[in-house]
């Protein structure tokens, strides 16, 4: 599903030659109060220019009217900010509100059928083993494999009530250890979600999939990267 994104960029306007000259003149005269006043006024102007261009009008008012130099050291005035968004900003705000409407996305019948077909295609691959084949290759009974699935010691992918497959990487001790570590970290995580996290490249792992990046001594690092990608860390 495609997601829309709203973005508002803020760019601070450049200081003009006239503004720089006024600041320089105040500095040359060693007039601290005048320098502070010019700096405050310039800051307010720049903020107004920036906000008007991107967000709309922003009014900034200092509750303490004394110049900065006239206030006790370490004391800053309270600032009141009022905003009036532009049409573009209003549209961005409306879009953000719509995306956070709190209503669950419900797939259409066609989308559900396409999703099921995609999952079925994965389960029909040669690296997806039936319980019987996995048990034979692992040297276990089918009953023990079912117990391991139930106890989340093995990752099993299901489609419907009858079709169930186990990724064959779990025949490798190191990959199995990674899988079990993640299953233990996320006891309620959907198996398909974990499968996709383990088989898709991660920037934190140099663009490699977690399984490809896995090396002896790196299990904790890879597990942390996968956990972070799932929002578990």
pLDDT of residue 111: 83
Task: Indicate the DSSP class of residue 9.
Answer: -
The span from the CA of 164 to the CA of 158, in Å, is: 4
pLDDT of residue 165: 95
Model confidence over 77-117: pLDDT tens digits?
544 445 555 565 566 556 555 555 556 667 788 888 888 88
**C-beta of residue 198 within 8 angstroms of C-beta of residue 205:** no
pLDDT of residue 6: 41
Closest of 166, 125, 160, 163 to residue 145, by C-alpha: 166
Structural domains of the chain, with CATH? 17-98 (no CATH), 108-168 (1.10.10), 172-233 (no CATH)
Could you tell me the CA-to-CA distances from 132 to 164, 167, 173 in Å, in that order?
11, 13, 19
Closest of 138, 221, 229, 139 to residue 181, by C-alpha: 221
pLDDT of residue 160: 83
Q: What DSSP line would sit under 59-103, residue for residue? A: EEEESS-S-GGGSPTT----EEEEEEE-HHHHHHHHHHHHHTS-P
pLDDT of residue 161: 81
Which residues of the chain are modeled with pLDDT < 70?
1-36, 43-44, 46-105, 233
pLDDT of residue 14: 67
């Amino acid at each position: 599903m495609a997601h829309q994104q709203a973005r508002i960029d803020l760019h601070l306007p450049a200081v003009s030659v006239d503004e720089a000259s006024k600041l320089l003149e105040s500095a040359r005269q060693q007039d601290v109060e005048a320098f502070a006043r010019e700096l405050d006024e310039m800051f307010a102007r720049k903020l107004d220019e920036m906000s008007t261009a991107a967000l709309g009008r922003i009014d900034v008012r200092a509750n303490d009217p004394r110049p900065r130099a006239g206030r006790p050291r370490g004391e800053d005035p309270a600032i009141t900010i009022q905003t009036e968004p532009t049409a573009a900003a209003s549209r961005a705000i409306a879009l953000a509100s719509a995306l956070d409407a709190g209503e669950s996305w419900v797939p259409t019948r066609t989308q559900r059928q396409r999703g099921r077909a995609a999952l079925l295609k994965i389960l029909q691959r040669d690296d997806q083993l039936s319980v019987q084949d996995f048990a034979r290759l692992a040297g276990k009974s089918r009953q023990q494999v079912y117990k391991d699935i139930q106890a989340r010691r093995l990752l099993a992918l299901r489609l419907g009530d009858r079709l169930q497959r186990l990724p064959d990487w779990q025949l490798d001790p190191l990959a199995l250890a990674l899988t079990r570590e993640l299953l233990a970290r996320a006891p309620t995580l959907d198996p398909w979600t974990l499968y996709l996290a383990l088989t898709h490249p991660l920037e934190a792992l140099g663009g490699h999939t977690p399984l490809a990046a896995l090396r002896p001594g790196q299990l904790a690092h890879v597990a942390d990267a996968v956990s972070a990608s799932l929002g578990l860390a």
